[in-house]
């Protein structure tokens, strides 16, 4: 083979990864998988896909080297191939935000307006240590069980309205979810503030927290 052919063969491998990402639904699947290993059924439900469609997208991601899978009985579990995949995913989001003007507008349309400055992750660490914040994880229970910020309490968004009275009223509540572009924390803060509770969201979410190498813990069995 010529040197040009060899170069093309190499760059085709790079392109294979890029092509595997070229789908909004596959990006959505990566967003969920960044929280931890999931079955095909859970991934399909979380992303609003039919089971066969989710499986096809996951196969494309696996072919591109972005996810791996294992079988346990009749169930197939998928997970990110490595932390570098999570960093690639966040990198793509950042490039889109910086260089595509439409990204910011699309984010505002999806997430809604947020007129309060979010609590930075470093500040949050300090406030957790000093006990001046009540931290709420509003992701689904299985995501909290897989990994969460130590000191956080699991209150999935779907259950939050019925548990507002159980939250302390004399301390600021900080909510967090999957990541910067996850709507759960935004909705949680709006709900809590409508109920008269002081609340803000954490800047970013579990994805950014883990990429920064911050400690997490798991729910005890």
**Candidate list 33, 152, 177, 202, residue with the active-site label:** 177
DSSP per residue, 44-97: HHHHT--HHHHHHHHHHHHHTTSEEEEEETTEEEEEES-HHHHHHHHHHHHHHH
Tell me what pLDDT residue 169 has.
Answer: 83
Q: Which residues of the chain have pLDDT under 50?
A: 221
How far apart CA 208 and CA 178 sit, in angstroms, is: 9
Architecture (CATH level 2) of domain 3-87: Orthogonal Bundle (1.10)
Closest CA to 118 of 164, 174, 170, 160: 174
Q: What is the pTM of this model?
A: 0.89
Q: Does an H or E element contain 151, and which?
A: none
C-alpha angle 18-29-97 in degrees, rounded to nearest 5: 60
Closest CA to 112 of 174, 38, 201, 29: 201
Q: Does an H or E element contain 135, and which?
A: strand 134-137
Tell me what pLDDT residue 220 has.
Answer: 58
Tell me what pLDDT residue 209 has.
Answer: 96
Q: Which CATH class is domain 110-211?
A: alpha beta
How far apart CA 124 and CA 106 sit, in angstroms, is: 28
Would you kindly state where each structural domain of the chain is located, as residue ranges?
Answer: 3-87, 110-211
Q: Is 125 a catalytic residue?
A: no
How far apart CA 202 and CA 197 sit, in angstroms, is: 16
């Amino acid at each position: 083979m010529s040197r040009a052919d060899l170069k093309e063969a190499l760059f085709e491998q790079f392109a294979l990864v890029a092509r595997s990402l070229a789908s909004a639904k596959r990006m959505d699947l990566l967003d969920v998988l960044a929280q931890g290993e999931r079955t095909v059924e859970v991934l399909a439900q979380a992303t609003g896909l039919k089971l066969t469609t989710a499986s096809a997208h996951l196969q494309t991601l696996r072919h591109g080297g972005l996810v791996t899978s294992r079988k346990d009985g009749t169930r197939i579990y998928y997970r990110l191939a490595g932390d570098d995949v999570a960093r690639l995913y966040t990198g793509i989001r950042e490039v889109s935000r910086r260089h595509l003007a439409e990204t910011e507008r699309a984010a505002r349309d999806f997430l809604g307006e947020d007129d309060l400055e979010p609590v930075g992750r470093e500040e949050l660490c300090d406030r957790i240590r000093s006990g001046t914040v009540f931290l709420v994880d509003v992701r689904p229970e299985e995501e909290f069980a897989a990994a969460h910020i130590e000191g956080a309490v699991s209150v999935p968004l779907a259950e939050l309205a019925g548990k507002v009275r159980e939250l302390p009223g004399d301390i600021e509540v900080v909510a967090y979810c999957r990541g910067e572009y996850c709507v759960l924390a935004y909705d949680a803060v709006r709900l809590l503030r409508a109920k008269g509770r002081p609340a803000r969201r954490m800047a970013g979410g579990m994805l950014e927290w883990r990429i920064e190498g911050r400690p997490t813990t798991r729910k005890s069995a």
